[in-house]
């Protein structure tokens, strides 16, 4: 088990906390991502704001990826064998 997995297991005691935290991060990052790509002419007036726009896009993308990974990990922990969520989160690379 990697260092990150051990640290996350120490922080989150069960899959409900992981799922809740991941959904919260996704809910906070999605409006920012939408506003950055829809209102792209707002920050184009000076070079300083264009650098700020690049940092904002990187931050929004990073939080979106972290939130998605936590939601996937929480759903994977909750999934029971035989359910659709189990088959989605436990892919078989070489089916029998």
- Which range marks the domain in which residue 84 is found? 14-89
**pLDDT tens-place string over residues 9-58:** 777 777 788 888 888 888 888 887 787 777 665 555 555 666 777 777 78
Residue 76 included in any domain: yes
**Does 1 reside within a domain?**
no
Q: Residue 96: inside a domain, yes or no? A: no
- Rounded CA-CA distance 12/59 in Å is 23
The Cα 53–Cα 37 span in angstroms is 10
Using CA atoms, how far apart are residues 81 and 65, in angstroms rounded to an integer?
26
CA gap 79, 76 in Å, rounded: 5
Per-residue confidence (pLDDT) for residue 45, from 0 to 100: 55
Given a contact cutoff of 8 angstroms between Cβ atoms, the answer to whether 80 and 63 are in contact is no
- Specify the number of domains making up the chain: 1
Query: Of the given ranges (1-5, 25-29, 66-70), which has the lowest mean pLDDT?
Result: 1-5
Instruction: Say if CB 15 and CB 71 are below 8 A apart.
Output: no
**Mean pLDDT, residues 84-91:** 82
């Amino acid at each position: 088990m990697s260092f990150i997995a051990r640290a996350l297991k120490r922080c989150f005691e069960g899959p409900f906390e992981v799922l809740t935290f991941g959904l919260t991060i996704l809910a906070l990052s999605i409006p920012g991502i939408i506003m950055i790509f829809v209102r792209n002419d707002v920050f184009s007036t000076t070079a300083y704001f264009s650098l700020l726009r690049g940092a904002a896009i990187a931050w929004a993308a990073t939080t979106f990826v972290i939130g998605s990974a936590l939601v996937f990990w929480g759903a994977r922990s909750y999934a029971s064998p035989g359910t659709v969520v189990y088959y989605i989160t436990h892919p078989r690379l070489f089916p029998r």
